Amino acid sequence: MPVAVSVEEYHGPLGVFRPGQDNHGLEHDDVAMRELPAKAIEGDGRYHVHHHHHRERPGHDYAEDVITVQGVQPHHKTSYAETMVHLFKGNIGTGCYAMGDAFKNGGLLMATLLTVFLGFVCVHCQRVLMDCANLMAKRQRQEQAQGPWRREEAEVKAVAHKPPDFADTVGLCFEYGPPSVRRWAPAMRAAVNLFICVTQLGFCCIYFVFISSNFKQIADQYGFVLDVHLHMALLLVPIVLTSIITKLKFLSYCSMTAMVFMTFGIGITFYYALQDLPSPSERHLVGRLDQLPLFFGTAIFAFEGIALVLPLQNEMQHPHDFRKPFGVLNVGMVIIVSLFTVFGFVGYLKWGEAVEGSMTLNLPDNEILAGLVKVLIATGVLLGFALQFFVAIMIMWPMVESRVEIARRHPFRCEMAFRVAMVLVTFLIAECVPKLSLFISLIGAFCSSALALMFPPVIELIVAYSAPERTPSRWLLLKNAGILLLAGLGFATGTYESVSKIIQEL
């Protein structure tokens, strides 16, 4: 599940706001900026640079970079094509390789129809989130323009103002909503961050299982037969080493290398899947009813890139190009939905009931090219672990640091210890659930369904009820009720079926 955050938001020097120009053309006075008191950001809950976060590129201001779980991108306004590439990078990953297993649970015909339908619903929810974020940003600007502040307070608010992210958008919708829901604003903002953290750490657990499963097949082929749990333990060393990286340059290199490996891996896996395809009549066209929740969890895991849309839109040279009818979002998601549908269809058609949670595990064991694919993809996922992990750390570590005295006195040692401890947590969870397909379905049903399908219709309804002079249309109520029903059923049944199957595997 991809997330993107501004390094400026989380990595400014301690006690100092950064000068610059925001997305609304409000230029800030450098002198006034230097006069802002350090207390302006004390306890603000953001992830700040300490002395151990060295910057490695002379003349480059890393505080202006944008960190995504797919890479560290220089802070410059992106073009249509660049944003399209970032959208692909943020949505195509381990979930793509699991679509064969999703089609096994849904059936060739049913899974094809449901994949296209879920893709349409997810894109609609992403557009709802963008609409609400734009409304909240406009509301903030109006309040700032009308508010009778002192000069220092106005400067602090102007500097701090940024286009709202996912959590801020949800919190602001509740804050500006009907009086009965306003008290829930902090809790809803925290809930979004909690689901993002759980999702990111869930991805890290999945990465442990994914990497160890692929490396085990390679090792077994050459006679080094070890249990998959031992492979996970051996992975601890490289994963811990990459997870304690705080130098943004190295994270960027890891991301780029991982993307190259994953791209080659998808192409070669497609090549193998298309060889000697059987007749569709040999496969189930419609899956069993008790397997559909597993399909839902896996599919929504693959599609859940909703936290990426706001950063990508905000970083474009022309943000309107992201959401227009033939904009980045619509065109990009049509390609992504088509890729997932074809990849899942071909994977299940090729390998049938034997298709694995990652289609790389179905590639032949005795061919050099197939072995190379497994190494490339497993290494790419290994290099991407640190960025998935980094997003969760940026949310969790400030809360720990603000509450633990020793963490404030020894930020470097305590942060490194916290990072290692969280890696160990993901490792222990992965050791308990070594079945890749069930783990993906569980994370998708439990976390991704909430982020992708629950929060957007809720905040759209709250915004609709915020205007006292009009009431929501019947169509709006029915549409959002349908999405919430789909999300609720997928959340409950997908989580239950995944947990039940996992317990049976133990």
Predicted confidence (pLDDT) at residue 10 exceeds the cutoff of 60: no
Burial class (CB in 10 A: 0-12, 13-18, 19+), 270: middle
Give the pLDDT band (50/70/90) at residue 44.
Answer: low
What whole-number distance in Å separates Cα of residue 172 and Cα of residue 183? 11
Predicted confidence (pLDDT) at residue 189 exceeds the cutoff of 50: yes
- What is the model's pLDDT at position 143? 77
Choose between 40 and 135: higher pLDDT: 135
The mean per-residue pLDDT over the stretch 142-161 comes to: 55
What are the sequence ranges of the domains in the chain? Answer: 80-505
- What is the model's pLDDT at position 171? 93
What whole-number distance in Å separates Cα of residue 409 and Cα of residue 86? 38
- What is the model's pLDDT at position 502? 83
What is the rounded radius of gyration, in angstroms, for the C-alpha atoms of the chain?
Answer: 23
Predicted confidence (pLDDT) at residue 492 exceeds the cutoff of 80: yes
Q: Enter the DSSP assignment of 78.
A: B
Reported as type and span, the H/E element at residue 491 is helix 474-505
What whole-number distance in Å separates Cα of residue 44 and Cα of residue 14? 11
Choose between 303 and 116: higher pLDDT: 116
Give the pLDDT band (50/70/90) at residue 173.
Answer: very high
Give pTM, 2 decimals: 0.79
The mean per-residue pLDDT over the stretch 28-53 comes to: 45
Choose between 10 and 396: higher pLDDT: 396
Burial class (CB in 10 A: 0-12, 13-18, 19+), 72: buried
For 250-302, the pLDDT digits (tens) are 666 777 777 788 888 888 998 999 988 999 989 999 989 889 999 999 999 88
Buried/exposed code over 344-376 (b: 16+ C-beta within 10 A; e: otherwise): bbbbbbbbeeebbbbbbbbbeeeeeebbebbbb
End-to-end alpha carbon distance in the chain: 26
To the nearest 10 degrees (0 to 180), the angle between helices 474-505 and 455-466 is: 160
Contact 97, 358 (CB under 8 A): yes
Contact 494, 444 (CB under 8 A): yes
What whole-number distance in Å separates Cα of residue 164 and Cα of residue 129? 11
Q: What's the CA dihedral at 439, 443, 449, 454 to 10 degrees? A: 150
Pairing of strands 4-6, 66-68: antiparallel
In angstroms, how far is CA 361 from the centroid of its own chain? 24
- What is the model's pLDDT at position 36? 39
Structure token digits, residue 108: 């060739």
Give the pLDDT band (50/70/90) at residue 105.
Answer: very high
- DSSP three-state, residue 314: helix
- What is the model's pLDDT at position 48? 54
- Domain boundaries 80-505, CATH class: mainly alpha
